[in-house]
């Protein structure tokens, strides 16, 4: 047995734990560890594995030195890890941001079909005992225009999949010049943001939440969207300003929206959730068996590469 100790602080798929053990590491599972206990324990481990529950604070990182070498966040985002302190202390931080891309892209397709064919509305009406056939006439996606804001891992997959549905695909990304091979592979067309907003029947956002993207979709942006269009956010809450979205849905400027993420989570914005033309899910973008398995194996691979 190598003298490498890994502490798994939040539940990850067993396959990743097995990979770490097969690499010869001593792996402890303490998936309900409290913040004070983590501070006490950190100094005994070479690596910590966390999801979103465990906060890897400055205190934890300082307590981890000199043994602690790497923190692995299973999943996307590093908001629960003090990356600045980690950098200053020379502790590497990795995540598995690539694992859920396909799961999120497929969820976006689900939203589009639900919005265009009134699937959620039809289901809700039947559960109320109604037969609302004549009120549920929708429209087809083929021939409509899809606008993708943020053409990274997820945006690209959404592009490929919506192209396959027969849609015209427009995309906008601040780094688009470096991604033209992906734009071409998806059969998409790179356009300025205003053109994308004006011409798209669906606009889906796949940018990270940064100071520059917070409320990127506000009243002014939404006003530039085509009347009767739909907007989708399965990226991060706060990219779309919820108040502006409610106003646009109420006025009829937007025909509908689909949301997986909210300005506050769990959301308390019941006015938005209860709107008839909104399809909502509770941040389930990465909740597929395949994505969870991917999170665990990618994290294990990255730890094994870093720790040897």
Report, as residue numbers or ranges, the catalytic residues. Answer: 236, 265, 283
97, 120, 146, 229: which one contacts ligand NAD (CB under 6 A)? 97
Half-sphere exposure for 141 (CA within 13 Å, toward CB): 24
Number of neighbouring beta carbons within 10 Å of residue 136 = 12
Rounded CA-CA distance 264/261 in Å is: 8
Least gap, CB of 68 to ligand NAD (angstroms): 26
9, 171, 207, 229: which one contacts ligand NAD (CB under 6 A)? 207
17, 76, 112, 279: which one contacts ligand NAD (CB under 6 A)? 76
141, 186, 234, 259: which one contacts ligand NAD (CB under 6 A)? 234
Q: Is 169 helix (H, G, I), strand (E, B) or coil?
A: strand
- Nearer to ligand NAD by C-beta: 143 or 192? 192
Least gap, CB of 295 to ligand NAD (angstroms): 10
Which residue's Cβ lies closest to ligand NAD?
Answer: 152
Q: Burial, 31: exposed, middle or buried (Cβ in 10 Å; 0-12, 13-18, 19+)?
A: middle
- Nearer to ligand NAD by C-beta: 44 or 273? 273
Half-sphere exposure for 45 (CA within 13 Å, toward CB): 27
Residues β-bridged to residue 95: 73
**137 phi and psi angles, rounded to 5 deg:** -70, 125
Size of the site for ligand NAD (CB under 6 A): 31
Is residue 213 involved in binding ligand NAD (CB under 6 A)? yes
Site for ligand NAD in 108-167 (CB under 6 A): 149-155
Is residue 13 involved in binding ligand NAD (CB under 6 A)? no
163 close to 189: Cβ distance less than 8 angstroms: no
Is residue 295 involved in binding ligand NAD (CB under 6 A)? no
- Nearer to ligand NAD by C-beta: 20 or 232? 232
Is residue 261 involved in binding ligand NAD (CB under 6 A)? yes
Rounded CA-CA distance 275/254 in Å is: 12
Is residue 215 involved in binding ligand NAD (CB under 6 A)? no
Please give the helix or strand (H or E) that residue 44 lies within, else none: none
Write down the H helix ranges in the chain: 14-22, 35-41, 58-64, 83-89, 101-117, 119-127, 153-164, 180-186, 193-199, 219-223, 242-251, 270-273, 289-307
Least gap, CB of 83 to ligand NAD (angstroms): 15
Q: Which residues bind ligand NAD (CB under 6 A)?
A: 76-77, 97, 100-101, 104, 149-155, 172-175, 206-209, 212-213, 234-236, 260-261, 283, 285-286
């Amino acid at each position: 047995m190598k003298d490498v100790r890994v502490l798994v602080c939040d539940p990850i798929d067993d396959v990743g734990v097995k990979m770490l053990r097969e690499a010869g590491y001593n792996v402890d599972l303490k998936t309900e560890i409290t913040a004070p206990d983590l501070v006490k324990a950190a100094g005994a481990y070479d690596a910590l594995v966390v999801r979103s529950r465990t906060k890897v604070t400055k205190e934890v990182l300082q307590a981890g030195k000199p043994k602690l070498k790497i923190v692995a966040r299973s999943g996307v985002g590093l908001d629960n890890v003090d990356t600045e302190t980690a950098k200053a202390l020379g502790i590497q931080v990795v995540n598995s941001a690539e694992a859920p891309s396909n799961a999120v892209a497929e969820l976006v397709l689900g939203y589009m079909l639900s919005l265009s064919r009134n699937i959620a509305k039809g289901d809700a009406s039947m559960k109320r005992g109604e037969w609302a056939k004549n009120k549920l006439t929708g429209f087809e996606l083929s021939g409509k225009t899809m606008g993708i804001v943020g053409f990274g891992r997820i945006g690209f997959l959404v592009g490929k999949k919506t192209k396959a549905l027969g849609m015209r695909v427009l995309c906008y990304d601040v780094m688009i010049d470096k991604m033209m091979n992906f734009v071409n592979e998806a059969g998409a067309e790179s356009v300025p943001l205003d053109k994308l907003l004006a011409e798209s029947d669906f606009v889906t956002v796949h940018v990270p939440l940064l100071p520059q993207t917070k409320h990127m979709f506000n009243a002014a942006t939404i006003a530039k969207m085509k009347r009767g269009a739909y907007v989708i956010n399965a990226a991060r809450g706060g990219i779309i300003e919820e108040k502006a979205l409610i106003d646009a849905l109420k006025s009829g400027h937007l025909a509908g929206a689909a949301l997986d993420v909210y300005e506050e989570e769990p959301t308390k914005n019941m006015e938005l959730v209860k709107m008839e033309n909104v399809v909502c899910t509770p941040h389930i973008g990465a909740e597929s068996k395949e994505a969870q398995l991917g999170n665990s194996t990618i994290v294990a691979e990255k730890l094994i590469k870093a720790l040897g």
